[in-house]
Structure 1
Amino acid sequence: MYKGNDSISIIVNDEVKQVAVNVTLQSVIEVYCEIRGVDMSAIAAALNGDVITRSRWQSQVCQANDKLELFSVVAGG
């Protein structure tokens, strides 16, 4: 995801990833969706076990060793 000098390690869906220091959750999710060809509107996020609402993605800064779980939202009943 990132190959710069100022990076931290986070875990995204059980894979260790290097990201820029002070990167937002929004940026990580954008890259994840682009790489996987997933529509960002169909993604939900949990950071360290807590669901993070879409309205907080832009302001939530990732910290070293954060555990991010991204999953597809499925509508239905």
Structure 2
Amino acid sequence: MNNQQTESLLTLLVNDIRHQVPSGTSLSQLLTILDVESNSVALVCNGQVVPKNLWQSTCCEDNAQIELFGAVAGG
């Protein structure tokens, strides 16, 4: 029996670019991995806007389609 732990990876499509991240990665952690400043973007996962207050507690799912949009101030 092999005692080495193998970490499973998730495949995500972020702004049409394929990325692999460890299973259990939160949306907040994903932004850190991608070196994206969290206060400068809006995040859509599988067609649903995810409120910023849920990013820390929401884990990425395999084959998720994630879109990041730059936040623009104005009126």
Shared topology, TM-score over 0.5? yes
Which structure has the larger Rg? 2
Aligned equivalent of 1:26: 28
> Gapped runs of 5+ residues in structure 1?
none
Q: 1:8 to 1:39 in 2, by over 3 A?
A: closer
SS of the equivalent of 1:26 reads helix
Alignment of structure 1 residues 1-77 onto 2, 5 Å:
5-32=7-34, 34=35, 38-77=36-75
* Larger helix proportion of the pair: 1
**Runs of 4+ in structure 1 displaced over 3 angstroms?**
none
What amino acid maps onto 1:10 in structure 2?
L
Q: How many pairs align?
A: 70
Q: CA deviation at 1:5?
A: 4.2
Please tell me the root mean square deviation across aligned C-alpha atoms, in Å. Answer: 1.4
With the length of structure 2 as denominator, give the TM-score of the two structures. 0.84
Q: Percent identity?
A: 33
